[in-house]
């Protein structure tokens, strides 16, 4: 059976290492997450985006309020942490540490 990582490599999609950086804080607060989301996600995913490439709230997703962020925890995890397909082409330069912090915070919510 071929792994997804292998398929990505075959078709030329870069796949970042899956190792979590060792300097991820033990506890990640919502304020930490909000800061990451504001800098790396809300640039597009907002009712009033800074980047107008995709228009307001691409795919109907906005992160303007804490409730909107909390409602989409599973989607944030899948797209930004697991598959790393957001932001597209890493347009906003989200770091591996920021992805790991999102993942840590999400795991703390369960």
Q: Is residue 2 part of a domain?
A: no
Q: Is residue 38 part of a domain?
A: yes
Q: Is residue 9 part of a domain?
A: no
SS3 (DSSP) at 26 = coil
Q: Is residue 4 part of a domain?
A: no
For the question of whether the overall pTM of this predicted structure is more than 0.75, the answer is yes
Q: Is residue 20 part of a domain?
A: no
pLDDT at residue 27 in the model: 94
Q: How many domains are contained in the chain?
A: 1
Q: To which H or E segment does residue 49 belong?
A: none
Residue range of the domain that includes 56: 30-108
3-state secondary structure 63-76: CCCHHHHHHCHHHH
Q: Is residue 10 part of a domain?
A: no
Determine the angle formed by the axes of helices 30-40 and 96-108, rounding to 10 degrees. 140
Tens digits of residue pLDDT in 53-81: 999 999 999 999 999 999 999 999 999 99
The answer to whether residues 24 and 40 touch, using CB atoms and an 8 Å cutoff, is: no
Q: Is residue 83 part of a domain?
A: yes
Q: Which among 109, 101, 105 is positioned nearest to 21, based on CA atoms? A: 101
Mean pLDDT of 76-89: 97
Q: Is residue 19 part of a domain?
A: no
């Amino acid at each position: 059976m071929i792994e997804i990582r292998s398929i990505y490599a075959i078709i030329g999609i870069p796949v970042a290492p899956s190792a979590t950086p060792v300097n991820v804080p033990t506890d990640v607060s919502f304020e930490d997450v909000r800061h990451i989301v504001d800098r790396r996600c809300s640039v597009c995913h907002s009712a009033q985006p800074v980047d107008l490439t995709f228009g307001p709230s691409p795919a109907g997703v906005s992160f303007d309020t804490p409730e909107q962020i909390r409602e989409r925890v599973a989607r944030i995890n899948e797209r930004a942490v697991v598959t790393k397909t957001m932001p597209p082409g890493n347009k906003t330069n989200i770091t591996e540490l920021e992805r790991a912090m999102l993942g840590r915070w999400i795991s703390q919510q369960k």
